[in-house]
Amino acid sequence: MFRDFRPLFLSLAATACLPLIGCGGGTQPTGDAPPVTIDELEQHQADHVHAETYAEGVAELDEMRGLVAKAFADGDVDAAHDPLHEVGHVLDELVRLAKKDGVSEEGLTAIESAVETLMEAFGAVDDQFHDKEGKDYPEVQAEVEAAMEQLRMYLPKTE
């Protein structure tokens, strides 16, 4: 009786293994850049200190804004790509930093609004790097400057 099931069992086992074999060889995807190593990622993190206060966050954001503006002014649009991604990281933390620093509820609402404006404006600029219809920085510069001014209003007073 066991011999009667052997061909059926072998057929089922072979069929079950087919998806595991796959198609094609085990070639690695090709690209312009080599893969990033763990050491390179750790070095990038060590090189970049994240803001710990609202004032530091606004200063970092202003620096990134300046790099993006300069890249467009110099006609080197590609140089704006990395700073644009850094802008996103800073914006993600800005409201949290403001809360941590004790900004009033009214201030937090204004900061949230400014952050949203900046996300939309810088996002529109970043879109052009990702095969989407985007904007050049000069097209959003007035919005960015107004939102930055709003953020500066809630910086701690210096004596």
pLDDT range class, residue 11, cuts 50, 70, 90: low
Residue 71 has pLDDT above 80, yes or no: yes
Distance CA 98, CA 111 (A): 8
**What average pLDDT does range 147-158 have in this prediction?**
94
Distance CA 83, CA 9 (A): 60
Report the mean per-residue pLDDT for the chain.
82
In the chain, where the domains are located: 50-152
pLDDT range class, residue 18, cuts 50, 70, 90: very low
Distance CA 67, CA 126 (A): 14
pLDDT digits (tens, 9 = 90+) for 81-127: 999 999 999 999 999 999 999 999 999 999 999 999 999 999 999 99
Q: What is the reported pTM?
A: 0.69
Asked whether the CA dihedral 33, 38, 39, 41 is positive or negative, the reply is positive
